[in-house]
Amino acid sequence: MVIMGVAGCGKSSLGAVVAQAMGLPLVEGDDHHSANNLQKMQGGVPLTDADREGWLTTLCEQLRAHPIGVVLTCSALKRAYRERLRSAAPGIQFVFMDISREQALARVAARAHAHIFPTTLVDSQFATLESPAGEDGVLRVDAMAPLAQLQDEVTAWLAHKETT
């Protein structure tokens, strides 16, 4: 499963609780960016498709390395990125953490002291985002809902998927 969305939506927090609840490993997408990508982001420079190429290749390798299951946190902003991940793990499910620009800005600003991603890049995330609404295997959740509620929604959705 991929927990996806723009910066500040809560991918890492939800990913951690879902992975724990399901007994699956957690792979943090941000941990797999190149030094160049990290430097660009820290400097407030948005990543391009070319910048994300190696990162997506690494994330696909991570998915293949966990055939029994894994929870991956990854922005997966464009449909093409999601299709790459799907090709590495057919049947993969996506949880889209939907959040407003204002809410994302507030969250990114609140964690500025402890995270690489500056508030100046939030707008570029929204400009790049191609909503996954309507794609197969996607659950949209309200990123502002309480974490326990989100975890319950995701695990119930997955349990339902397994029985159908």
| Distance between CA atoms of residues 75 and 113, nearest Å | 21
The mean pLDDT of the chain is 91
Q: Which residue has the higher pLDDT, 113 or 89?
A: 89
Q: Would you say 136 and 90 are in contact if contact means Cβ atoms under 8 Å apart?
A: no
| Distance between CA atoms of residues 124 and 129, nearest Å | 9
Tens-digit pLDDT profile for residues 10-49: 999 999 999 999 999 999 998 898 888 878 877 778 888 9
Query: Any idea what the CATH number is for the domain that residue 157 is in?
Result: 3.40.50.300
| Distance between CA atoms of residues 40 and 73, nearest Å | 20
State the residue range of the domain holding 137. Answer: 2-163
- Residues 6 or more apart whose CB falls under 8 angstroms from that of 23 comprise none
Query: Does residue 133 have a pLDDT over 60?
Result: yes
Q: How confident is the model at residue 120 (pLDDT cuts 50, 70, 90)?
A: confident
Q: How many domains does the chain have?
A: 1
Is the pTM here over 0.85, yes or no?
A: yes
Residue in the structure block whose two tokens are 């420079």: 45
